[in-house]
Structure 1
Amino acid sequence: MTPELALTRLGGAENGRPLLVVGPSLGTSVAALWDRCARLLADRFDVIGWDLPGHGSSRPAAGPFTVAELADAVRAAAVERAAGRPVAYAGVSLGGAVAFELATRPEPFGLLVAVASAPRIGEPASWHERAALVRRAGTPVMVESSARRWFAPDFTERDPSTAGALLTSLAQADRWSYAWACEALAAFDRSGSDGAGAVPLHVVAGEHDPVVPPAAAERIPATAVRVLPGCGHLPPAEVPDAMAGLLAGLLLTREATP
């Protein structure tokens, strides 16, 4: 079942600017994750974010969904808003899995960026275990472990406001939608791809990410792999300046390419 995804303009305006669609990580709202990064891009791009079912502004899912179905919904939203403009996509973790899925049928996207993500993330058994735990105990049970897994060392002390907003979005997520997202990740596997898609696919890793460490990211077939220093699993929130600069460079280079 293709889920309904709420969209939020995070920066910029339509008025002919290139469209950048950004996607969230499991357990985060797209606004909490991308807000500061999007504002840094707003003078050149129209930045639209989507929320996972039951997260942020999206309604809870009515039933199970797959990463491919998330990609279909993101693609449909981009087609509706493209209006002849250049369109790019960047997503984090589960949102990055959507980038790998979009690579199989990229229109209307001319550039894809997978952040802190991989063609296969983790092991199916661990995702099913997490889904069962969250169905039983709710999403607040994930807050403590996610704080350790998401952020670079000392980030919560350096930026408690941003860390707090992200962890609050996790605690407020719908337990059933979160569990179905875990099961979508359990079933997701694009590891057989050679990375030679119709459009550029860039991979971005966080220096301190334990989920997709730089060494693992560098083995992913892609147009290019970049490692951002000083961050963990959520680069747009942890190092928004560096993430915005990287994306702007990729987007502007892509625009200038005949």
Structure 2
Amino acid sequence: MTAPLLTPTLLHQDTEKPTLILGPSLGTGSLALWGPSVPALSGHFQLLAWDLPGHGASAPSTGGFTVAELAGAVVAMLEALETDGVIVAGRPLFYAGVSIGGATGLQLGHDYPSLFAGISIVCSSAKFATPEFWNDRADLVATAGTPTMVTGSAERWFAPGFIEKNPVPATDLLHNLQDADRFSYAHACRALGGYDLSNKLGAVTAPVLAIAGAHDVVSPPEHAHAIAEGVADGRAVIIDSVAHLAPAEDPAATSALLIDFFTSIPIKEATHG
């Protein structure tokens, strides 16, 4: 295994505000996924997003990695940003991630319990499918490329009618998938195959908001409820209008939930460094 290097994207800079770290879904870049939610979120947070290896701004991975190593790479990224003054030590840090970005958020809560004052797990799970499923997908994409995933992802990612009503953001996200590095995508698939926090959720002590889409077949609402019930301090909310990419599908509803959740956390709990 090789620890990946992650490239952050500063979506909104304001060091006087708490920093919210935004995590990606498999096959998407952070700008296309989280961009629609930036106008609302930027009124309350400095916004920093990260991209998976071989996606968006991040360089391709040079070897396989685990979700735990992704979490460690996020921590290394944050330490570098603190050194550069982008993140101010002692200011609150929050995290929200979608799909594999949500899994990384749970892993961060498990492995680094004092790092984030609050964590939102968006359209994600404590365990995804089976290792065999993910290994088969990894083999297919490594051989034939990410375009093989476009048709199926278009069906899974979006609630019925979204693509027809919102062709530009939907096309941007599907282009992200088509342009992703095939081997990095395959490495991420294998990471998901080895990921399972379903029996370790009690070790996550930061407040957790699990958001699910009513139309999500990848991480259905019952997965959000399981996360909320398993962590020390959690609750689940379902957005009726979305499937698997909530920040892009319904940015208003997603942003409102995140703002309400993070701003309700007492600031004295929000320390790091």
Structure 1 length as normaliser, TM-score? 0.96
Deviation at 1:255, TM superposition (A): 3.9
Would you say 1:91 and 2:87 are equivalent positions? no
Contact 1:97 1:117 (C-alpha < 8 Å) held by counterparts? yes
Quote the offset at 1:202 in angstroms.
Answer: 1.8
Whole-Å separation in 1 of the counterparts to 2:59 and 2:266: 35
Contact persistence 1:60–1:174 (CA under 8 A) = yes
* Alignment partner, residue 250 of structure 1: 261
Counterpart amino acid of 2:40?
L
Partners of 1:9 and 1:192 lie apart in 2 by: 34
Question: Residue 2 of structure 1 aligns to a residue in which SS?
Answer: coil
Measured in 2, the distance between the counterparts of 1:255 and 1:37 equals 23
Query: What amino acid sits opposite 2:248 in the alignment?
Result: A
- Letter paired with 1:245: A
What's the counterpart of residue 216 of structure 1? Answer: 223
Greater Cα offset, 197-206 or 243-252: 197-206
AA aligned opposite 2:246: P
Find the counterpart in structure 2 of residue 59 from structure 1.
59
Once the two structures are superposed, the pairs formed by residues 195-234 of structure 1 within 5 Å of their partners are 195=202, 197-220=204-227, 221-222=230-231, 223-234=234-245
Q: Residues of 1 paired with 2:178 and 2:31: CA distance? A: 15
CA distance in 1, matches of 2:64, 2:46: 31
Cα displacement string for residues 198-232 of structure 1 (whole angstroms, at most 9, x for unaligned residues): 31122110010011111332233241111111000
* Contact in 2 for aligned 1:103/1:201 (Cα 8 Å): no
Displacement of 1:82 in angstroms is 4.1
The change in CA–CA distance for 1:100 and 1:15 in structure 2 (over 3 A counts) is closer
Superposed, which structure 2 residues align to 1:89-238 within 5 Å?
A: 89-104=95-110, 105-195=112-202, 197-220=204-227, 221-222=230-231, 223-238=234-249
Amino acid at match of 1:101: Q
Deviations 1:42-96 (A, max 9, x none): 1221010000000000000011111001101112223422422100000000000
* Partner Cα distance (2:57, 2:239) in 1: 29
Aligned residue-pair number:
257
- C-alpha contact 2:106 2:204 (8 A) present in aligned 1: no
C-alpha distance in structure 2 between counterparts of 1:233 and 1:103, whole Å: 22
CA distance in 2, matches of 1:59, 1:194: 31
**Aligned-pair identity (%):** 44
User: CA 1:82–1:114 in structure 2 vs 1: closer, same or farther (change >3 Å)?
Assistant: farther
Answer yes or no: is 1:34 the counterpart of 2:34: yes
Q: Using structure 2 for the length normalisation, give the TM-score.
A: 0.90
Aligned partners of 1:114 and 1:202 also within 8 Å = yes
User: Residue type of the partner of 2:44?
Assistant: R
SS of the equivalent of 1:114 reads strand
Shift of 1:10: 1.3
Q: Tell me the alpha carbon deviations over residues 24-57 of structure 1, each in whole angstroms, 9 at most, x when there is no partner.
A: 0000001100001122111221010000000000
Structure 1 counterpart of 2:6, which letter?
L
Q: Distance in 1 between matches of 2:53 and 2:223?
A: 28
SS of aligned partner of 2:264: helix
Residue identity in the other structure for 1:35: G
In 2, distance between residues paired with 1:229 and 1:165?
23
Provide the C-alpha distance between the structure 1 equivalents of 2:264 and 2:77, rounded to a whole number of angstroms: 24
The Cα shift of 1:108 comes to 2.1
Q: Which amino acid aligns with 2:250?
A: V
Q: CA RMSD in A?
A: 1.4
1:115-172 Cα offsets, whole Å, 9 max, x none, are: 1111101111110010000011100110000000110001000101010000000000
